[in-house]
Amino acid sequence: MFRPGMKGNTVNTSPTASAAMTSATAALLESLACASTDPQDRAHASTDRSGYVSPSVPDGVVFAESIDDVAQTMRRASELGVQVVPRGAGSGLAGGAAAHAGQVVLDVSRMNRILHIDPVEQIAVVEPGVVNAAVNAAVAEHGLFYAPDPASTAICSIGGNIATNAGGMWCAKYGVTRESILALRVVLPDGRILDTGRGTIKGVTGYDLNALMIGSEGTLGIVVEAKLRLRPRPVHTATLVAYFPDVAAAAQAASAIIAARVQPSVLELMDGQTLAAVDAAQGSDHAVRGGAFLLAQTDGYGAYLEQEVLVEAIRPYASSMEQAADAEHAGALMAARRAAIPSVEELGRVSICDVGVPRNRLAEAFAGLDAIAAKTGVRIFTVAHAADGNLHPMIVVEPHESITEGPAKEALGEMFHLAKGLGGTLTGEHGVGLLKRDWLQAELGDTSLELQHAIRDVFNPRGLLNPGKAI
**Closer Cβ to ligand FAD, 344 or 369, answer by number:** 344
Dihedrals phi, psi of 380, to nearest 5 degrees: -125, 125
The pairing of strands 60-63 and 103-107 is: parallel
Of 329, 306, 340, the C-alpha closest to 172 is 306
With respect to ligand FAD, which residue has the nearer C-beta, 189 or 290? Answer: 189
Between 122 and 132, name the residue whose CB sits nearer to ligand FAD.
132
Q: 269 and 249 in contact (C-beta within 8 Å)?
A: no
Residue whose CB is nearest to ligand FAD in the complex, by number: 160
Min CB(125)–ligand FAD separation in Å: 15
Question: Could you please report the per-residue DSSP string of 382-449?
Answer: EEEEGGGTEEEEEEEE-TTS-SSSHHHHHHHHHHHHHHHHTT-BS-SSS--TTTTGGGHHHHHHHHHH
Q: How far apart are CA 370 and CA 147, in angstroms?
A: 33
Measured from the CB atom, is 177 or 255 closer to ligand FAD?
177
Which residues make up the interface to ligand FAD (CB under 6 A)? 48-49, 85-93, 96-97, 108, 128, 150-152, 156-157, 159-161, 163-164, 166-168, 217-218, 222-223, 341, 429-430, 433, 466, 469
Q: Name which of 166 and 249 has its Cβ closer to ligand FAD.
A: 166
List Cα–Cα distances, 176 to 195, 216, 324, 392, in angstroms.
Answer: 21, 14, 26, 16
Least distance to ligand FAD from the beta carbon of 375, Å? 27
Supply φ then ψ for residue 79, to 5 degrees: -60, -40
Distance of CA 406 to the CA centre of its chain: 25
Q: How far is the CB of 98 from ligand FAD (least distance, A)?
A: 8
Measured from the CB atom, is 52 or 317 closer to ligand FAD? 52
Comparing CB distances to ligand FAD, the nearer of 18 and 50 is 50
Give min distance, CB of 219 to ligand FAD, in A.
Answer: 8
Residues in CB range of 344: below 8 A, 6 or more apart: 274, 277, 350, 381, 394, 396
Least distance CB 334 / ligand FAD (angstroms): 13
Q: How far is the CB of 87 from ligand FAD (least distance, A)?
A: 5
In the complex, least distance from residue 46 CB atom to ligand FAD, rounded to whole angstroms: 13
Q: Which residues contact 301 (CB under 8 A, 6 or more apart)?
A: 235, 236
